[in-house]
A and B are shown apart, each in its own frame.
Chain A
Amino acid sequence: MSNRTLSRRHFLQGMGLATTGAVLAACAPPAAPQGAGDMAETAETAEVWVFQGQPACPGGGNPEKTDAVRQRILDETGVLVQVYLVPPGAAQIEKLNLILASGTQPLDLFEGQWPDFKGIIMPLDDLLEQHGQNVLALNNDFAWARMKDFEGVTWGYPRLGLMGHTHFCFFRSDWLDEAGLEMPDTWGGMEETIAAFRELHPESVVATNGRRNIMNNTLGAFVEEGNSNWVDPADNMIKPVETHPGYQEWVAKMNEWWQKGWFQEETFANPDFRAMLKTLTIGSWLGWYSRMTIWWEQIRLDAGYSDIDYDFPETMTGPKGLAKTNNVGGNAAYMIPRKAEHPEAVIRYADWCYQGLPDDATNLVSIRQGIEGVDWEWHDKEQGHYRSLIPATAPCEQKYAYDFYNVKGMGTEPHVIRVLDDGRAGRQSSHTVAYNDRFDLGKMPIDYDVPYDLAAISDQYPGLADFQRLVEEESIKFITGVQPMSEWSNFMDALKRAGLDKWSELHTEQYRQYHPA
């Protein structure tokens, strides 16, 4: 009997301990996601946490290689860099927002559109002045203009900048040969080509990854301003491109393509593009360029296709001129949260990445490729040409995975480094070098220099997100024939009911601060 009583007591004590432990565990902050081996923050070093926006390997690369690069940064800057790796997509945005909102995990640097985060990030003017002279010098004026608000306060350092290389109409070059056609560079030629592809290969399709990308590739053929907001001469107000008469013509044309069965049927429904590319049924790609320069190139090399490939014309023109619109890159920036513990260390780290450019790109290539002599070597240092020593096709566990590459900047990078043709990275690198600055091949959005503060607009117009959903949803319904084109005027009425006038008023107000009437 007494034994049983004793065991109950022990059980109760155990339960008490377990309960206490569970409560403590539940209330403790989450564990750090990516350890730094033996390295740890000391009095001389500052630990900074970076949310890596585009991880090459979401599970991380080879830990030893990662630590080697981390050690080099630590030795030369005194900054111990830790990284959050989350696969891109909605889950990544969600994770970033939770880290920013919860405050339970450290965060010192992340990327995004800075106006979306204004209020939770810190101004960088003084920090850049004191610790970031390389960062300041190596980004051009255009890139910096996009980082500033109306008062001239700098809220981030540039992530992208203006890009001329992101949108081209790609066509199966072997099918062009088979059809005896030249690479099309007019709207009529493009339609003739797609029709010929369908004739030769009935399974061939046109594909894109989302409405915005196909608009950037083709809308300029129907709208003078391209894929851009426009100033309606009727009232001199800024309006979304979807209200432009040329947009209706473009949607009607896309619907005509859809009715002919030219489009891949799931092209506006987030399909698996890698799987789609592997089917070899895509005759024309009208989406984001890197699906071709990276994804397709990888598939081509892996499968050993020597006679199948895609190519593109430098320009495509339609009734209203150039079909392509240059990619403004928004206000994409690297930002420091207001609550960051070591903001000066973040800028020191960023500045080190830029150090030596444009003459010596060793640091930049190191954070991109790994350790010199182990993961990469110079081919022509003066020209910035290097060669990767690890094949691009190597699995993540064998290579350094860009973990500390937090100065991706299309405004600077293509001018200073170039990876030699080693497969996937070679094609991508050649493409960006050749076309990053070719703004003459597309139209420039009329408000490319206006960093709209969407958070401020959203405050005054709570229906902004609804408006954006309406535009997206209805446009795709017209293209795919779910909604007949005869109901276009109903769409315009719906936009008005959803607050088009408010949208226009608030955007015009900000636009006029940069472009007085």
Chain B
Amino acid sequence: MQQTGGEQLGVGVTPASSAYTERRGFREAWRQIKRDRFLYALAALPLLYFVIFQYLPMVGVIIAFQDYDPFLGIDAMFSMDRWVGLKHFRNFFDSIFFWNVMRNTVVISLYKLIFGFPLPIILALMINELRMRLFQRTVQTISYLPHFFSMVVAAGIVRAMLTPQGGLLNQLVVALGGEPKAFLTDPTLFRSILVTMDIWQQAGWNSIIYLAAMATINPEMYEAAAMDGANRFQRMWYVTLPSISFAIVITLIFRIGGMLNAGFEQILLLYSPSVYAVSDIIDTYVYRAGLIGRQYSFGAAVGLFKSILALILMYMANKVAQRLGQEGLW
């Protein structure tokens, strides 16, 4: 909060002078808006996008506290007739699959975080160290490519590779003297497949932000380190990594905030009853109950519960980052 001149001087502020200051502040703000109208106009469209598509729909969470019937129209949403309070939340907590769904969501997310978060950093460090530009660009392009496959195509590729009926991996297993195996129906392997697929699809793309951060490092720092006798690994460790730590922390906070998004589309396209026990996550549960089972209120309640948890996680991650001396998000 900006201090007024009176406060700065420790002088008592009269109501008249307060009103004057307020008017002056308003005029100053308006003057600044007029001055930067070009920038504000640029920001208007994205802002409107967020208001219309991200914030206004939040009003809809009210149905989590109702027995909502979409066919009664929008008015019914604001009527107390169908208000049921926390009934749907209680039903979710009472579900025999509550802990299973929560555990799967957290475990799959953690696996993806533990194995999937450092890899783009390592990949970016390695790409950054490449000296042949052509080879560097080829590696970058190949590593980005899977990101552009739609999840349906990516899941199709994984299915085709893993099927026991002539899948590439099973052909390899057979060539090495093994027996074909239905990898996707094996509960002990399913999460590993999810994590591996996620890394394959996203590691290249996620490395871009680190490569961009590395491009801003002053080359003189590397020269100074070299003069001090640092080898390539030491330069990476003592110059590159600390210089991109801000980017690492921010992406980590975002990853933790989105941790409960364990990969809805990916799981929906690959799972089956044999592996429900290790793969059914909050989002697939909401999808079945809300959209397929038409229990819209129940689905909204579970979704809201997930969002609140995500908010708490993000807040905690931000606090921890600040305690560790990093900037954080706010």
Contact = CB atoms under 8 A, between A and B. Distances in A.
Nearest to A116: B294
Contacts of B9: none
A69 to B, nearest CB: 31
A470 interface: yes
A83 to B, nearest CB: 22
Interface string A13-37: 0011011001100110000000000
Contacts of B293: 458, 465
B187 interface: yes
B273 A466 contact: no
Q: Which of A23, A462, A497 has the most CB of B within 10 A?
A: A462
Contact of B165 (A27, A97, A264, A477): A264
Interface string B204-240: 0000000000000000000000000000000000000
B198 interface: no
A120 B71 contact: yes
A512 interface: no
Given A463-B96, A466-B96, A101 B48 contact: no
Contacts of A103: 70-71, 73
B185 A268 contact: yes
B177 to A, nearest CB: 16
Nearest to A90: B292
Contacts of A462: 91, 94, 298
A338 interface: yes
B53 A26 contact: yes
Contact of A270 (B52, B272, B298): B272
A176 B165 CA distance: 23
A266 B44 contact: no
B291 interface: yes
A482 B272 CA distance: 13
A265 B69 CA distance: 42
Interface stretch (A140-148, A248-256, A271-279, A441-449): A271-279
Contact of A120 (B38, B69, B268, B274): B69
Contact of A100 (B70, B276, B295): B70
Contacts of B41: 11-12, 15-16
B182 A8 contact: no
A469 interface: yes
A497 B97 CA distance: 11
A269 interface: yes
B42 interface: yes
A216 B8 CA distance: 84
Contacts of A269: 182, 184-185, 272-274
Contacts of B181: 265
> Quick one: which of A22, A268, A269, A463 has the most chain B CB within 10 A?
A269
A472 interface: yes
Contacts of A477: 273-274, 277
A338 B73 CA distance: 12
Interface residues of A, number: 55
A339 B291 CA distance: 20
A271 B71 contact: no
A466 B97 CA distance: 7
B38 A266 contact: no
B45 A93 contact: no
Contacts of B97: 466, 469-470
A281 interface: yes
A476 interface: yes
A276 B187 CA distance: 23
Interface string B94-120: 111100000000000000000000000
A266 B185 contact: yes
B34 to A, nearest CB: 11
Contacts of B289: 465
Contacts of B292: 90, 93-94, 97
Nearest to B52: A26
B182 A94 contact: no
Given A12-B38, A268-B274, A18 B71 contact: no
A339 B69 CA distance: 13
Given A23-B48, A265-B185, A465-B293, A339 B71 contact: yes
A8 B39 CA distance: 11
A484 interface: no
Interface string A444-478: 00000000000000100011011001101100110
A480 interface: yes
B30 to A, nearest CB: 16
Interface string A71-100: 000000000000000000010011001101
A60 interface: no
B69 A119 contact: yes
Given A22-B48, A116-B294, A472-B273, A480 B71 contact: no
B37 interface: yes
Interface in A113-136: 116, 119-120
A458 B272 CA distance: 24
Contacts of B166: 279
Contacts of A473: 273-274, 276-277
Contacts of B95: 463, 466
Contacts of B49: 22
B38 A119 contact: no
B164 interface: yes
A197 B289 CA distance: 42
A207 B307 CA distance: 42
A15 B44 contact: yes
A266 B44 CA distance: 51
A102 interface: yes
Given A337-B71, A463-B94, A482-B187, A266 B182 contact: yes
Nearest to B182: A265
Interface string B276-302: 110010000000110111111010000
B171 interface: no
Interface string B31-60: 000000110011011001100110000000
B266 interface: no
B140 interface: no
Nearest to A498: B96
20 contacts: A11-B38, A15-B44, A22-B49, A23-B52, A26-B52, A120-B70, A211-B273, A265-B181, A266-B182, A266-B185, A268-B185, A269-B184, A269-B272, A338-B71, A458-B293, A465-B289, A465-B295, A469-B97, A472-B273, A480-B274
6 interchain residue pairs of minimum CB distance: A265-B182, A269-B272, A101-B70, A462-B91, A120-B71, A476-B273
Given A94-B291, A476-B274, A480-B274, 10 more contacts: A15-B42, A26-B52, A27-B52, A101-B294, A103-B73, A269-B273, A272-B159, A458-B293, A462-B94, A477-B273
